[in-house]
A and B are shown apart, each in its own frame.
Chain A
Amino acid sequence: MSELFSVDAWEKVWHYRSTFFLGLGNTVKTAFFGVLLAFVLGILFGLMATSSKKGLRWISRIYVEVIQNTPVILQMCFLYYALAFSNHSVSIIVTGILSLGIYHGAYMAEVIRAGIESIPKGQFEAAQSQGFGYIGRMYYIILPQSIKIILPPMVNQIVNLTKNTSCLYIVGGADLISLTYSFVTGVNTGGAYAPAYLVSGLLFFVICFPLSMIAGKWENALKKRERTMVTQQQKGEVNAT
């Protein structure tokens, strides 16, 4: 712990600051494209889960259950080694984007399904009776109503995905945590444990904390509104009787 206050250790971290920026860049890149992929998969499978066709619902169910019930590290190793041993090696970052996108896509799908299912059935029927097609119905009627329910857990998923980029360490790692680790254990750079971990933890915190703050605020606002709605309903019932 003493190296936390040693000038030498901090100078070492400052001297090799490019390592941290490289790691941060890789983490952000992986997280960004991973979120995009998760988003696309989430919308696709979320819509499939709420469709009227049983086959589509089953496919979505199986995807969500299989992915959500196995660790992301396992999926990442599976993807990486299966590709590597069949001579289709892809770069570590691409592995990260694919596996994190697929993993969090399952969570996004559940979020979107819950959002759509929270809309009363009458809204779908009303939209249909007004002549909206499937896309128009979803886009103009359902999405604006469910977006408030969908957004907070979705932002939480983005935070989790950013944190999970650290899993890349197990397949060779190019992300912030892996590079920090190779920095503190490296022959020339080693030793500055406390400052290096502090820096990389801080970088993660700076990215994740604002996001989870926003998500928490939205969630609380939503809960408050729900509660007032329930009490209003109860009051209405009391008045009616």
Chain B
Amino acid sequence: MNELGASFSILRNSAIISYILKGIVFTLIISTLAVVLGILIGSILALVRNYCTSKKTRVFKVLATIYIEVFRNTPLLLWIFICIVFCPCPELFATSMFGLTSVETKLLFKGSMALILFTSSIIAEIIRGGLNAVPQGQFEAGHSQGFSTVQTMRYIILPQAYRNVVPTLLSQVITTVKDSSYLANVATIELMARVKKLLSSANHYNGTGTINVSDVFVLFGVAAILYFCINFSLSLVVRRMQKGRTAATHMR
């Protein structure tokens, strides 16, 4: 019981609290960035894979398919390792900022690159699902109204496709928040890595001079609660949306 009290005393240290809070901010920024850029790249990939079917553009479809399948069937950690070696890093990110050293910002940039590439392949498949759910008649209707193919896409197909996939995209945000913890393998930037680092030096903070089991429970427990709060609130939104949707389809 004494050890448990000592472990909780770690959390009374304001420097440690702010250290953990910074980790949450980084986790949120990295995952938001990954999802937003993932939607951008993923949309292009999905459109290319679905609609570049003519002889001239076929090669793009094949390339997009290869990209999507390769990223979906290999682990994220492999891509993080690959990006750390091979991804070029612009000078802008090779300086120290956001309270990170220059080495860490470099790793942050490269790791986020890997996460963005990986997430975009998954989001591409999600958006493709949305595109496929739009009935073929919508294209014909668009064309018959004098819309060009691009206009049909822009004003008729894409809005419906995005509307279809909003809940799935939101659950992908949850997955990305969780996936951002993979960066803990290479750098101490986001929440998971920071908590792990705190654990390895817990003997300096809890006053007992050793790392105890209770430290593991308290520190990882705090991290778990934080992740849970972020993700559970998102999943509540998803569930509410899906409920509204099924109600709407039943009304029709």
Report Cα–Cα, A158/B30, bound state, in Å.
27
Select the stretch in B91-99, B144-152, B156-164, B210-218 that faces chain A.
B210-218
Q: Are B73 and A204 in contact (CB under 8 A)?
A: yes
Report Cα–Cα, A68/B213, bound state, in Å.
24
Given contacts A70-B227, A180-B81, A209-B73, 20 further A-B contacts (CB under 8 A): A66-B228, A68-B231, A69-B227, A69-B235, A71-B192, A73-B181, A73-B182, A74-B195, A77-B220, A78-B220, A78-B224, A159-B73, A180-B78, A197-B81, A197-B85, A201-B78, A201-B82, A204-B73, A204-B78, A208-B74
**Chain A 81-95, CB within 8 Å of chain B: the 1/0 string?**
110011000000000
**Chain A 194-208, CB within 8 Å of chain B: the 1/0 string?**
100100110011001
**Chain B 66-78, CB within 8 Å of chain A: the 1/0 string?**
0001101111111
Report Cα–Cα, A181/B80, bound state, in Å.
11
Q: Are A82 and B78 in contact (CB under 8 A)?
A: no
Q: Are B213 and A74 in contact (CB under 8 A)?
A: no
Which residues on A sit within 8 Å (CB–CB) of B85? 193, 197
Report Cα–Cα, A180/B77, bound state, in Å.
11
CB distance from B188 to the nearest CB of A (A): 12
CB distance from B145 to the nearest CB of A (A): 24
Is A59 in the interface zone, CB < 8 Å from B?
Answer: no
Q: Are B217 and A205 in contact (CB under 8 A)?
A: no
Q: Give residues 182-241 of A contacting B (CB, 8 Å).
A: 193-194, 197, 200-201, 204-205, 208-209, 212
Question: Does more than half of chain A's interface fall in helix, strand or loop, or is it mixed?
Answer: helix
CB distance from B135 to the nearest CB of A (A): 10
Q: How many residues of A contact B (CB 8 A)?
A: 37
Is A8 in the interface zone, CB < 8 Å from B?
Answer: no
Q: Are A73 and B192 in contact (CB under 8 A)?
A: yes
Interface contacts (Cβ under 8 Å), in number, total 110
Is B35 in the interface zone, CB < 8 Å from A?
Answer: no
Q: Are B77 and A177 in contact (CB under 8 A)?
A: yes
Q: Are A74 and B77 in contact (CB under 8 A)?
A: no
Given known A81-B220, A170-B184, A177-B81, contact A69–B74 (CB-CB < 8 A): no
Is B51 in the interface zone, CB < 8 Å from A?
Answer: no
CB distance from A148 to the nearest CB of B (A): 18
Q: Which residue of B lies closest to A196 (CB)?
A: B81
Given known A69-B232, A73-B184, A197-B82, contact A166–B227 (CB-CB < 8 A): no
Q: Which residue of A lies closest to B86 (CB)?
A: A1
Report Cα–Cα, A193/B228, bound state, in Å.
37
Report Cα–Cα, A209/B78, bound state, in Å.
16
Q: Are A181 and B81 in contact (CB under 8 A)?
A: yes
